[in-house]
Amino acid sequence: MNFEELVNEKFKSMLEAAFEYSDFNEEEIKLIYVFCSLEEGFYYDFFYRIGGEIVKKHLINDFLISKCNDSDEQQLAAVDIGLNDLIELEKLFIENEKDLPTQIKIKYVVKDQSIDTDMVYSQNLIGTNKDDLELRNEWIESLQKSINIA
């Protein structure tokens, strides 16, 4: 496989960890979002669009009719998969002498099975008081605003 195919495999694995966490609930989950940061260490998290709401993983059962196992252990298992994929992604970029993104944002439309990936290369944390969680929350807020406008 070439570099792009290997990178896409890691993206798919990150998405699959998030989808598996929801028990592959194709009926209720419209979109899956993955947020990764590599600027100051490794950060991986995921959340969902259920109905007209952006839902963080620990609140998923507050919005689903078909409940899933949202235990701390299940969350940690999914995050571990994503973090391992992120570490492997960094190695791929370094080995192939490619610029390493500082952030990766992935959107997966469940119905269409389509993936949209945005890789950011600018510094967003260095020289600020922000952390990875704050950047993730900013993305969540912008997504929720766009839903409310639509």
Which amino acid, one-letter code, is at 32?
I
Please indicate, yes or no, whether the overall pTM of this predicted structure exceeds 0.85.
yes
pLDDT higher for 127 or 87?
Answer: 87
**CA–CA separation, 36 vs 81, rounded Å?**
12
Cα 6–chain centre separation: 17
Report the pLDDT value the prediction gives residue 45, as an integer from 0 to 100. Answer: 97
Q: Which fold is adopted by the domain 3-149?
A: 3.30.500
- Confidence at 71, pLDDT banded by 50, 70, 90: very high
Average pLDDT estimate for 128-148: 92
Q: Residue range 45-59: average pLDDT? A: 96
Per domain, the residue ranges of the chain are 3-149
In the predicted model, what is the mean pLDDT of residues 4-11? 96
pLDDT band at 150 (very low <50, low <70, confident <90, very high): low
